[in-house]
Structure formats: structure tokens, C-alpha cells
Amino acid sequence: MVKVTVLGSAGSHPGNGRACSSYLVSAGDHHLLLDCGNGSMANLLDAVDPADLDAVIISHLHPDHFVDLYGLHYALRFHPSGSKTVDVHAPDGARSLLTSVLLGDAGDSFNRHLPMHVAAAGERLEIGPFDIELYAANHPIETLASRVWVDGRIIAFSGDSGTTEELIECARDVDLFICDSTWLSRDAPFPKGVHMTGTEAGQYAAAAGAERLMVTHVFPQREPEQAAADAETVYDGLVWVAADREEYEL
Ligand SMILES: [Zn+2]
Ligand SMILES: [Zn+2]
């Protein structure tokens, strides 16, 4: 059984009961963490022992997608059964950016417990039972969308993204498409190449033939249910509203 646990569904900043971007994909004893946004670490600790993570993939270097790596580092460094290491795959520049705010020997420790690997669109990663293909999302900075195969299921995660054909390829025939739905259609117009509306997420899920759509990254001061309703006007599949600490079985 493949399970996705939402550890953070909020877009850009945390809200009441909602941490920033983070999703745990689990298959048996194997766990892949997609993003590690602010506030998500507490939810991660309730879902899994952080030492049991196979790896972390960071979609891009906006703070709402990586800030809790700092907490994860300490959870691994001072783990009750001895210090642990978890590999992190992230866009180029992650190591220097993330360690630039760490003083003293904290940067060395951070790199030791969370070794950083540069990841780029077009690459394929094999991590335990997870087979991952990376795509280029459409965002103001380099952003990776992930297509994850595991145990006969396929999950796509857009990261933050405006509309782009790449996302349709990334989400082609998936069991679950976790898609940026930051903006409510009623608030239009929006800048191009940043985020999607629930309506656009629905259009993309339909174009890709996705079995299920999870709308997420909605601003905490907006209603995620409205993003789902917008998606449902153009998409016949099952629409889930990402909710923190909820588990979704595939
Ligand atoms: Zn974001
Ligand atoms: Zn972003």
C-alpha cells in the first residue's frame, strides 16, 4: 500500500493548523519526503522516525519549501539511537544558500547529517523502491516537479508552478497529482509563471489523465475548499483538499 501523508499544505506562509509545503510518500518501511517547509517538522515527527527517511527532495529554494531542514538536521544529529544521515536532493545552490545562515560549526554539521546532492530537471533518481523523474516547473526560480513511481503507483508533485506543458507530462496517467492551486479563480488576474489556480490545476489534471487531484499550497487566508470547487468545474476525477496530518491511501 502506498500512502501520502500531508505534513504541510499551506502556500507561502503557515496558517492556523497548516504548515508549509511537505508531503511524505510511504511504501512499507520506505519513506520519501517531498519538501520540508516551515512548521512541517512537528508533523513529520508524528508520522515517521526521521532516521527512517530514504531521502528528501526539495522542489526549490523558496523558504516555505525548505526551512524545516534546519530542524531535521538537529533531529538527526541528536537522534536517540545515535546520529543519523539523510540525503537531500535539491536544485543547484542549495548547500551554499542553506548553510549561509548557520554560524560556527553548524554548517559543517548540517552538511554531514543532510548531505546535499544537486538535482536538475530531466534527471532520474533511484532511491530505495522510489523511481523518480524530475521535470522543470514554471516558477520565478529553478523549481523541480517530481514524478514518483513506487509499488505500482505513480504520484506527481508540481512543486510551485504556473502553467507549463512539462507538468502535463509529469502528471501523465498518475494515480495522484499533487498540484499547486495557490490562487482562487475569483481573485484573477495573476502574474504569469508563478502559481496556478484551482481551475488550472483541474484543467491540467484532466489533460494529463490523472486519476486523482490534490489541490494544495492555497494561501492560508483563502479557502482550500474553493480551490477544489474551482477544479471540479473542469475535472471529472476525484479531488482531494490537502489537509495537514491527513493520510491518503493509494
Ligand atoms: Zn511555495
Ligand atoms: Zn515558490
- What local confidence, expressed as pLDDT, does residue 212 receive? 98
Instruction: Write phi, then psi, for 202 (nearest 5 degrees).
Output: -65, -45
* Gap from CA of 108 to ligand 2 centroid (Å): 27
Convert the pLDDT of each residue in 131-144 to its tens digit. 999 999 999 999 99
Q: Which residue carries 506527481 as its cell?
A: 156
- What local confidence, expressed as pLDDT, does residue 193 receive? 96
- What local confidence, expressed as pLDDT, does residue 42 receive? 97
What value does the mean pLDDT take over residues 100-114? 96
Ligand nearest to the CA of 65: 1
Share of the chain above pLDDT 90, in %: 100
Ligand nearest to the CA of 37: 1
Half-sphere exposure of 24 (CA within 13 A, CB side): 29
- What local confidence, expressed as pLDDT, does residue 150 receive? 98
* Gap from CA of 142 to ligand 2 centroid (Å): 9
- What local confidence, expressed as pLDDT, does residue 92 receive? 98
What value does the mean pLDDT take over residues 1-28? 97
Ligand nearest to the CA of 60: 2
Ligand nearest to the CA of 38: 1
* Gap from CA of 104 to ligand 1 centroid (Å): 29
Ligand nearest to the CA of 180: 1
Domains of the chain and any CATH numbers = 2-249 (3.60.15.10)
* Gap from CA of 21 to ligand 1 centroid (Å): 7
* Gap from CA of 1 to ligand 2 centroid (Å): 31
- Helices 106-113 + 69-77 axis angle, to 10: 80
> 94 pLDDT band (50/70/90 cuts)?
very high
* Gap from CA of 197 to ligand 1 centroid (Å): 14
* Gap from CA of 22 to ligand 1 centroid (Å): 10
What value does the mean pLDDT take over residues 58-66? 98
* Gap from CA of 20 to ligand 2 centroid (Å): 11
* Gap from CA of 81 to ligand 2 centroid (Å): 35
The chain-wide mean pLDDT, for the chain, equals 98
* Gap from CA of 116 to ligand 1 centroid (Å): 20
* Gap from CA of 64 to ligand 1 centroid (Å): 5
DSSP string, 177-241: EEEE--B-GGG----TTS--BHHHHHHHHHHHT-SEEEEE-B-TTS-HHHHHHHHHTT--SEEEE
Convert the pLDDT of each residue in 179-225 to its tens digit. 999 999 999 999 999 999 999 999 999 999 999 999 999 999 999 99
> 46 pLDDT band (50/70/90 cuts)?
very high
Ligand nearest to the CA of 137: 2
- What local confidence, expressed as pLDDT, does residue 178 receive? 99
For the entire predicted model, the pTM comes to 0.98
* Gap from CA of 131 to ligand 1 centroid (Å): 24
